[in-house]
Amino acid sequence: MGLPSLFDYPQEVLLGISELLSQSELTNLSKACHALHSLIEPLLYPAFSFLWEREFHPPITELVLLIRTLLEKPDLCSLVLSLEFTGYGHKDEIGTCGGPDWTKPTPDPPPVVPMLPVDKLASAMERTGAHLPVINDWTVKVGSGDPEAAMAVLVSLLPNLKRLCVSENWNEITPFLEVLFDRSVCSPRQRSSQCSISSCEFLEYMRNEDNMWPYNGEDRGISGNTTAAPSLLYLPNIQHLEISIDNLMTFSWPCSPFLNPDS
């Protein structure tokens, strides 16, 4: 009598075995074995991390491919619980200044921006409650490979997002993510049906001190967040909040105008 096949075991056993594998092993197994793909796929989506180190080479290809998958398979959106956008200081096109290879140009071409289904992308943006001019600008920026615009789209798709970490490389100018923040602290009757940051329990939103306003960021078109940032304390499920605030010499909050979470 031959040894039993792996597929002779109940799905519960196969799932238990799969949960012991690393993320890379699960990815490879999902690609190699079509019979296990549907079982393994939910295990691939609870957490994602995107590292941006080289200034002109953000991980936009991987980011947009994930967005495309979620737009085409919306049932997977609810499985994503954690997003991390990491990177502390960019390497420019000639490497890290002062490093051993800083004089050597990087030969790599710019990253490829995959195409997204336009209708599904537009519908996802409309569900955020953003105004039409914002949506139009947002669409253009995503199509051109803007990392922050793509990051905001991904965040907007995730109704069960519990943890969001945005480090300084991703947090220079973030108008579209701030639209989601604004919608998330509005009263329940004003929230869109898909306001993912409302479910956040853990939020880290850090800005590089070189971009802080008004001393360094003003010349780069970076506005201060002194008034807006404390409104994140009103996120309905927040338990941990770590955020960089442009701290002026004179600071008071709330002040006029300020965001009223009940209006």
Give the model confidence (pLDDT) of 215-232 as tens digits.
444 444 445 666 667 778
Beta strands (DSSP E) in 19-135 are 47-51, 82-86
In sequence order, the 6+-apart residues with CB closer than 8 A to the CB of 237 are 198, 199, 200, 201
Q: Could you tell me if 193 and 127 are in contact, meaning their C-beta atoms sit under 8 angstroms apart? A: yes
Beta strand pairing status for 240-243 and 163-166? Answer: unpaired
SS3 of 42, please? helix
Q: Residue 104: which pLDDT band, with cuts at 50, 70 and 90?
A: low
> What pLDDT is recorded for position 86?
92
Residue 114 has pLDDT above 70, yes or no: yes
> What pLDDT is recorded for position 98?
47
Higher model confidence: residue 39 or residue 126? 126
Residue 94 has pLDDT above 50, yes or no: yes
Least confident interval from 73-87, 108-122, 193-207 = 193-207
Q: Could you tell me if 71 and 124 are in contact, meaning their C-beta atoms sit under 8 angstroms apart? A: yes
Higher model confidence: residue 85 or residue 27? 85
Is the whole-model pTM more than 0.75? yes
> What pLDDT is recorded for position 143?
92
Residue 252 has pLDDT above 90, yes or no: no
> What pLDDT is recorded for position 218?
47
Q: Helices 147-156 and 60-72, interaxial angle, to 10°?
A: 30
> What pLDDT is recorded for position 135?
94
pLDDT tens digit sequence for 42-82 = 888 899 999 998 878 889 999 999 999 999 999 999 999 99
Least confident interval from 25-29, 46-50, 113-117 = 25-29
